[in-house]
Amino acid sequence: MENERRKLLIESMKKINKKSKDSLIDFAENTDNLEKIYSGLSSIDKFTGGFQKGNFTIAWGGESVGKSTLVLQTIANCQKEGKIACYLDMERSFDSTRAKQLGVNLEELVLVSKCQTAEDALEIIRTFAKDKVVDLIVLDSIQSMSPKGEQENKGKERELASQEMAQLARTLSKFFRVVAPDIYRAKIACILIGQVRLSLGSFIVRAELSGGLALRHFAYQSIFMRRGQKSDAPVQKFKNYFLDPDGQLRFQTISEEVGFDTVLKLYKTKSSDSAKEGSEIHLPFLYDKGFVDNYDSNADIQIRIDPEAPEPEQEKIQEMMIEKGIIQEEKFVEDHLKEKSPEFQEKVQKETEKLRDKIEQTKKKRGRPPKNKEK
């Protein structure tokens, strides 16, 4: 670029920035790369490249595929890094116990769960963006929002039978046009959860994201989630101890499903750090832990007493397992008292004390009598 023209350009840029009272124009080399919010799961973070601040990410799919769990794990990791997260619960299904189980700090999480209309929720996002007070905003879900025009007409409540065409799509389209600049300036990562709707094509039925084309156009990334094959579901192996017909202690190694396989597909991405558009990954989802990077069913084989055996038989099995050193009473109590009531814990503790005394007495009876040293 010629020196004279460059000088004129810089002067022109300064005039525009001064008039607007903001740095609207600058050279690309002076632009900072926006930070990213990570889920804390290396496989997902490598696949997506992270959730870009200042932009919108859409995670969508059918029911029970792990969408809410994914964002809750992301919130937990975001909080670990000292950042502030906001969760807009438009489905009124937020489970504080589940969130805490996934590592979310409830004292630090901003929860919005009483919005009546879509406009209320979107206005909250707009306010937080203008004030630059949060780092991550999650909206769960897009399709559960009801625009004011869908509920009221000139201040009067609409009948459920009345039809309002594309109200949500028009509301979202306006929202993106108005709020997207504020989200960018505030450097907020905004994750929108979407539900699928079935599209009847000429020959096949396809899962589509409803809510209007604005969702697709303004999305920095679009991630489709679905369940994989049942044969790929994670399983937990157990050594199931029982008594055979002769009263002998036996065990059988069995496998039980403890989750399901989830497939993530990158429908759209503008990130240079993510996988290619159209790529897929498979992730194990565990019911008690959520998404994990790796899972090996052979890594930790659990020991348990046959749950179908009668209670007296279970006590006998427990006694024999302790005698043979298969389990220790302290560890057995610890593993089986999790999430139990204090009354139940106290009862088991007392029963364990009785069992310990009984075992000690049995050992004394089996021991050889002391030799008589006097000849």
Taking 80 as the threshold, does the pLDDT of residue 74 lie above it?
yes
Q: What is the per-residue pLDDT for 166?
A: 78
Taking 90 as the threshold, does the pLDDT of residue 110 lie above it?
yes
Taking 70 as the threshold, does the pLDDT of residue 165 lie above it?
no
- pLDDT tier for residue 159 given thresholds of 50, 70 and 90: low
Its pTM stands at: 0.80
Average pLDDT, the chain: 86
| 312's tokens | 């007296």
Single-letter code of the amino acid located at 28: A
Pick from 125-134, 248-257, 326-335: least confident:
326-335
Strand partners, 331: none
Pick from 39-48, 243-252, 271-280, 318-327: least confident:
318-327
Q: What is the DSSP letter of 299?
A: T
Q: What is the dihedral of CA 209, 215, 94, 152, to 10 degrees?
A: -100
Q: What is the per-residue pLDDT for 275?
A: 97
Q: What is the per-residue pLDDT for 11?
A: 92
Q: What is the per-residue pLDDT for 267?
A: 93
Highest mean pLDDT among 19-28, 49-58, 168-177: 49-58
Strand partners, 45: none
Q: What length does the chain have? A: 375
- pLDDT tier for residue 299 given thresholds of 50, 70 and 90: confident
Taking 90 as the threshold, does the pLDDT of residue 354 lie above it?
no
Whole-number Å distance between alpha carbons of 138 and 54: 13
167 by DSSP, 3-state: which? Answer: helix
Q: What is the per-residue pLDDT for 190?
A: 97
Whole-number Å distance between alpha carbons of 85 and 137: 6
Of the candidates 168, 228, 167, the residue with the CA atom closest to the CA atom of residue 192: 168
CATH topology of domain 32-149+165-230+258-291: Rossmann fold (3.40.50)
